[in-house]
Amino acid sequence: MGLFEGKKGLILGVANDRSIAWGIAKEIMDQGGECGFSHLPDKPDDDRKKNSRRVNKAIDGHPNAKFVEPLNVSDDDQIAAFMEKSKESFGTIDFLVHSIAFATMDDLSKDTIETSREGFKLAMDISAYSLIAVANAAKPMLNDGAAVLTMTYFGGERCVPGYNVMGICKAALDASVRYLAHDLGPRRIRVNAISAGPLKTLASAAVGAKNMLDLYSFVSPIGGRDLEQKDVAKAAAFLLSDMSTAITAEILHVDNGYNAMGSPGRLLDHVKADS
């Protein structure tokens, strides 16, 4: 019997079959859970329906994938409509995964000090406030003892050059996890975050994570291996399951231990060997 037999929930922010959100969803569904999905709405002039097509390709007829709907999390009416669809399909839910972030390439490519006011507001709205918005909208459906999970990054705790304005958004997201955990705690609803190391995804490509892969490989205590989608998915399944009923307001680092290092570690040996 799987960890999620008889459980139902929402996976918000699947981009394609390489995204972290999809890895989490697959782990849940393979362990018996049923999932409803959201994806970024397609542009009206996109005849190929690129976003919808990518998500449906990932799901590919999985019996525990119950519906796929577009969702713009900066629009409260769309959030309400998505939750109504979820209520029709599931009634109540046991988990909610929030894997959504956005900043314009123009703002991401600039030094943080040059971030535009409108770009900052947009990035913060979608990347941080959206967790509060969807958790509040889903609150009537969340069963007592349910779990909420979001995806963050080390750039919200420390300065990671190149992550820029998104690092500020992740810091706000991290704080939101703690405050939401307090608000939902009386119903034993847990709110946690996973801080994953760099993975090869569409989102990570936008913030230059490709250049971080070698760095993590040399510096991390568990060096010499790239982080895999499955690593994050298994950790997420733990936090969303009844295996973690006393864990809330936490940020779990799934990064081969990179966050614990106070020096470049074995990277120095590599540099010396090349010099």
- Coil, strand or helix at 241: coil
DSSP 244: G
Catalytic residue among 153, 179, 216, 258: 153
| Residues 62, 66, 71, 77, Cα dihedral to 10° | 180
Measured CA to CA in angstroms, residue 19 lies from 84, 201, 205, 263, 272 at distances of 25, 6, 11, 30, 36
User: Of 163, 179, 216, 258, which one is the catalytic site residue?
Assistant: 163
134-143 as b/e: b if 16+ CB within 10 A? bbebbbebbb
The whole-angstrom separation of Cα 55 and Cα 202 is 13
Close Cβ partners of 250 (under 8 Å, ≥ 6 residues apart): 177, 192, 193, 239
**R_g of the chain, CA atoms, integer Å:** 19
d(CA 20, CA 203): 10
Q: Among residues 230, 69, 233, which one has the least CA distance to residue 151?
A: 233
Active site residue 216: no
38 conformational bin, left if phi > 0, alpha if psi -120 to 50, beta if neither: beta
For residue 209, is it left (φ>0), alpha (ψ between -120 and 50) or beta? Answer: alpha
Helix 117-124 to helix 165-184 angle (10° resolution) is 40
> In whole angstroms, what is the distance from residue 82 CA to residue 72 CA?
10
Question: Which residues are known to be catalytic?
Answer: 153, 163
